[in-house]
Amino acid sequence: MNREAYERQAAILDAHMPPVPRADDDNHRNAPRPDLAALYGLVGDVARAGSHSTEANPFAIALNFIAYMSCAVGRGPYMSVANTCHHARQFTLHIGRSGRGRKGDAVSLVGRIAEAVKEVSEHGAPKIHRGGLSTREGLAFLIHDGYKDGKDEVPAEEDKRLWVIESEFANVLHQGKREGNTLSAALRDLWDGVSIKPATKANRLSATAPHVCLSGAVTPSELRSLMAARELTNGFANRFLMIWAERTKMLPFPTPTSQETVDALARRVVQVLEFCRAREWVNRDHMSMELTPPARERYGKLYMGELNDTSAGERISSLVERRAPMLLRLAMLFALCDLQSAVDVPHVQAALAWVRYSVESVKFVFASATEESEAAEVNDAAQKIIDFLRVRGRATRTELTVDCFRRHSSKSLIDAALDALLLAAPPRLVVTETPRPKGSPGTPTKSYQLTGANCANSANSDNGRGKSDNRPDSEFSEVCERSSGLVGSVRTLREQNETPQGVAGPNSSRTSQSSHGFSEADAGVAQEEEL
C-alpha cells in the first residue's frame, strides 16, 4: 500500500473513531438568568415592591401580575394578526423546586392588589378562582352562558373574565392523563379565546367569548414526569409562558409589603382598567392596538429571526413554538399599562426579554446540557454544508463527506445536519436526482443544493451561533440576516453512538446569561439604546 492510499484509509478510520473525552469537558450550566428589561413599567414596580422585603423572586411576582393584568384588561383591547384577533390573555407557569421556588409568596402580593382593586372598582376587577380545575364542563360552569336547573333558569355570568390560580399545576397534568378527560383541550381553546361548547348531550353548559387567564406553579420533576409526550407537541405546553424562578436571597424575618404600597399599586391598576374600559364586558374588541412603525420594524426582524429559530432541536422548538404571538400579547399589555393603545419599541423589548427568559427556562428544564451540545454540533455542521454549497452549487453525499467535512465528521452528524436543512420550514436544501446514463446499472445519483432564497441570503441563524442581539438596527438590513435556526427535526445523536460528545455551543444555557447575549448588566444599556 502506497503512502497516499495509507493516509486515505487512515482518515476513514479516524472519522469513525469515538472521540477521547477531554479532561476539561464540563456539562454543568447556569440556571436561566433573566434580563432586567423584563421588569418594565407597572409590572416591574409590582415585582420590586413584592420582593423588597421577602424571599419571593421578583420575576415570579411579575409573572403572576402579568397573568392577572392580562385577565383584568379583558377582551376590549385587541391586535389583528391576519384573520385572528389577539387579546392580551396569558397562561403562565412558575417552575421551581419545592420550598426554594417560593411559589406561594410570588402570588400573594398580586392577590392583595387584586383585593384592593375590587374594593375600588368592583365591576372593573375580574373574578378569581383558586385551583381545582378538573374538567371542561367545570371550567364552563365558572363563566357559563346560563343554564336550566330543574325548572329554574340560572342567569348567565356576563363577565367572562376569570383569573385561575392553580398553585398545584400537577393536578391539571394528572387530570389530562385520565381517560376521556378534555381539560387539556379546553385550556387550549381558552388560550385561543374560543367559546366552550357543550361536549355531551347530557351536559349543555357553554361559555361564549371566554377570557380566562391562568397562573400555575409546579416543580420541575412534576412537570417532566407528568406532562405526557402528546402535551409536549400538541400545542398545550407551548401556550404557557414558563419561567424557572427561585429565591434570590434568604431572609429569616421577611416582612409584608405595606398596605400603603399595595393601595398605590391598586390605584394604578384601576387607571389601566379605566383606560381600556374593562368594566364594559359586553363590548368586545373596542380598542384596536397597533405597532408603531419602529416597533413594526423591530418585530419584523425578530419574526424572521429568533422568534422562529429552531436551533435547539425539535422537542424544545415545539415547546416554544408560540413565541411570536406571546411577544405581541405581552407587548400589548405593557403598552396598556403605560396607558397607550400604540405598541412601541420599549414594549416590544420588554416582551422580548420575557420570551427569551421563557426559552432559556424551557431549555433548562426539558433539555440536558449534553443535548444542547449535540444541537449546537448539528447547527455548526448544517452551516458548514450551506457555506460549502454556496460555493460549490451542488454536491453529492460523498462529496459532502470528503470535500466539505474532509472525512472528519461522523455519518450520523452529517445525516442530522441534512435532515435539519431539508425539514426546515421553509426548506434550506433540495434533493435532486440525476438518472444514470442509459444502460448503466444502479440508482439515480442524488445531489444537494440550496433553495433559491438561501442562495441569495445567509441561511445561518446568528442566534444559533451565539452572537449577541444587541446590535444596531442597521445590521438587520437583510430580511434573512437572522433567519430561523437550523435544527428542525433532528435525530438524537446520542442514540446513534457515532457522534462525538461535543462541548456545548455558544447558544447553550451552559454559557452565562441567555443565548442572545443579553445579560443583566446589558439590560439597562440595551433599553436605553432602544428608547
The answer to whether position 104 is within a domain reads yes
The answer to whether position 419 is within a domain reads yes
The answer to whether position 409 is within a domain reads yes
Among 282, 309, 328, where does a domain finish? 282
| Domain co-membership, 394 together with 269 | no
For the record, the C-alpha cell of 28 comes out as 454543568
| Domain co-membership, 246 together with 392 | no
Question: Is the pLDDT at 475 greater than 60, yes or no?
Answer: no
The answer to whether position 348 is within a domain reads no
For the record, the C-alpha cell of 336 comes out as 396598556
For the record, the C-alpha cell of 360 comes out as 432559556
The answer to whether position 414 is within a domain reads yes
Mean pLDDT of 486-501: 37
pLDDT tens digits for range 185-223: 899 999 999 998 876 666 678 899 999 999 999 999 889
Question: Is the pLDDT at 264 greater than 70, yes or no?
Answer: yes
pLDDT tens digits for range 3-19: 566 555 655 544 444 44
Among 282, 313, 348, where does a domain finish? 282
| Domain co-membership, 260 together with 120 | yes
Question: Is the pLDDT at 30 greater than 80, yes or no?
Answer: yes
The answer to whether position 310 is within a domain reads no
| Domain co-membership, 382 together with 270 | no
- Rounded to whole angstroms, the Cα distance separating 189 from 89 reads 12
| Domain co-membership, 379 together with 503 | yes
CATH code assigned at 186? 3.40.50
- Rounded to whole angstroms, the Cα distance separating 388 from 405 reads 10
Helices (H) and strands (E) in the chain, counts: 20, 15
| Domain co-membership, 145 together with 266 | yes
- Rounded to whole angstroms, the Cα distance separating 204 from 61 reads 38
Residues with Cβ < 8 Å from 318, sequence gap 6 or more?
A: 232, 233, 238
Among 240, 263, 282, where does a domain finish? 282
| Domain co-membership, 239 together with 106 | yes
pLDDT tens digits for range 57-68: 999 999 999 999
CA Rg, the chain, in Å? 26
The pLDDT of residue 453 is 56
Which has the higher per-residue pLDDT, 272 or 479?
272
| Domain co-membership, 272 together with 376 | no
- Rounded to whole angstroms, the Cα distance separating 524 from 470 reads 12
For the record, the C-alpha cell of 468 comes out as 449577541
Residue 285: other Cβ atoms inside 10 A: 13
What are the two backbone dihedrals, phi and then psi, of residue 77, each rounded to the nearest 5 degrees? -75, 135
Domain that holds residue 148: 59-74+88-282
Residue 164's DSSP bridge partners are 129, 214
pLDDT tens digits for range 165-191: 998 898 888 887 777 778 888 999 999
The gap from C-alpha 163 to its chain's centroid, in whole angstroms, comes to 21
- Model's pTM, two decimal places? 0.74
The pLDDT of residue 3 is 59
Tell me the pLDDT band of 502, cut-offs 50, 70 and 90.
Answer: very low
What are the two backbone dihedrals, phi and then psi, of residue 341, each rounded to the nearest 5 degrees? -100, -5
Residue 452: other Cβ atoms inside 10 A: 9
**For 359, how many CA atoms within 13 A lie in the half-sphere containing its CB?**
33
The answer to whether position 34 is within a domain reads no
| Per-residue 3-state assignment (H helix, E strand, C coil) for 114-128 | HHHHHHHCCCCCCEE
Which has the higher per-residue pLDDT, 417 or 117?
117
For the record, the C-alpha cell of 14 comes out as 479516524
The answer to whether position 305 is within a domain reads no
Give how many domains the chain has, as a whole number. 2
Question: Is the pLDDT at 341 greater than 60, yes or no?
Answer: yes
Tell me what the pLDDT averaged over the chain comes to: 80
Are 148 and 154 contacting, i.e. CB atoms less than 8 angstroms apart? yes
Question: Is the pLDDT at 275 greater than 70, yes or no?
Answer: yes
Question: Is the pLDDT at 521 greater than 80, yes or no?
Answer: no
Residue 169 in 3-state DSSP?
helix
Mean pLDDT of 493-519: 36
Which has the higher per-residue pLDDT, 453 or 377?
377
The pLDDT of residue 455 is 56
| Domain co-membership, 255 together with 394 | no
- Rounded to whole angstroms, the Cα distance separating 429 from 418 reads 8
| Domain co-membership, 108 together with 216 | yes
Question: Is the pLDDT at 463 greater than 50, yes or no?
Answer: no
Which has the higher per-residue pLDDT, 132 or 286?
286
Overall size of the chain counted in residues: 531
* Percentage above 90 pLDDT, the chain: 44
Are 107 and 319 contacting, i.e. CB atoms less than 8 angstroms apart? no
- Rounded to whole angstroms, the Cα distance separating 51 from 245 reads 13
Question: Is the pLDDT at 478 greater than 90, yes or no?
Answer: no
Mean pLDDT of 500-515: 35
| Domain co-membership, 94 together with 214 | yes
The pLDDT of residue 328 is 97
DSSP 207: B
